[in-house]
């Protein structure tokens, strides 16, 4: 009849409402998933950075800039890699360019570079740059020590082969210039360490993590 229900219209309306509800729930689920993913990324990056901060804090007293060839940096490198994240490359500086040590070392340095890039995307504002820069500087510190160890290995080889003094071998192979690069890495990581270690920066980083938890 004219007063009867148009069941087709009702069914279509119910279907439309159901579709809107499903879309809303799907969008909400996606937002929650994205939020969880961002939280997981931020906490993972920050825990890695905290590990590096602890290593540097325990080892920085060994990074002394002396006006002479830097000896025993392989020991310092071992301390700078003395946690579960980096321990597999701890002996790399003591045996530079040996394939069994070099490949894991290169892989780990690439991983540190990736984490630094991720930090700049996952965090916002000052924490983004502070974390990214510190991880980058830490990676460059390890790289600089390794390169210096390669040089000093060649210096020692020249001392043995040509019966040069240590001073002469260092001069011939450009050790003073390499030392300047090494000291620049010392200075860079010291600066970014101080920046990220400030109470204000720590609070800002932890606040960003809590906001998405």
Per-position pLDDT tens, the chain of length 213: 455 556 666 666 777 776 676 676 655 666 667 789 999 999 999 999 999 999 999 999 999 999 999 999 999 999 999 999 999 999 999 999 898 999 999 999 999 999 999 999 999 999 999 999 999 999 999 999 999 999 999 999 999 999 999 999 999 999 999 999 999 999 999 999 999 999 999 999 999 999 887
Residue at token pair 């060839």: 69
Residues 6+ apart with CB under 8 A from 38: 122, 212
Question: End-to-end CA distance of the chain, in Å?
Answer: 57
The CB-side HSE value for 86 (13 A sphere, CA atoms) comes to: 26
Residues 6+ apart with CB under 8 A from 166: 69, 155, 159
Sign for the pseudo-dihedral over CA of 110, 193, 120, 206: positive
How high is the pLDDT of residue 94? Answer: 95
């Amino acid at each position: 009849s004219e007063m009867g229900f148009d069941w087709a219209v009702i069914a279509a309306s119910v279907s439309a409402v159901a579709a809107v509800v499903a879309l809303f729930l799907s969008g909400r689920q996606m937002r929650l998933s994205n939020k969880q993913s961002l939280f997981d990324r931020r906490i993972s990056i920050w825990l890695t950075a905290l590990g590096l901060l602890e290593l540097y804090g325990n080892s920085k007293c060994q990074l002394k800039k002396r006006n002479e060839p830097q000896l025993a940096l392989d020991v310092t490198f071992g301390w700078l890699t003395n946690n579960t994240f980096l321990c597999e490359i701890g002996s790399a500086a003591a045996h530079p360019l040996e394939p069994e040590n070099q490949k894991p070392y290169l892989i780990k340095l690439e991983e540190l570079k990736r984490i630094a890039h991720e930090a700049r995307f996952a965090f916002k504002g000052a924490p983004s740059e502070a974390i990214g820069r510190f991880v980058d500087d830490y990676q460059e510190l390890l790289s600089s020590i390794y390169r210096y160890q390669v040089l000093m290995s060649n210096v020692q080889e020249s001392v043995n082969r040509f019966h040069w003094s240590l001073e002469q071998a260092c001069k011939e192979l450009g050790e003073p210039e390499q030392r300047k690069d090494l000291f620049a890495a010392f200075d860079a990581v010291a600066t970014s360490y101080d920046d990220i270690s400030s109470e204000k920066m720590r609070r800002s980083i932890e606040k960003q993590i809590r906001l998405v938890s």
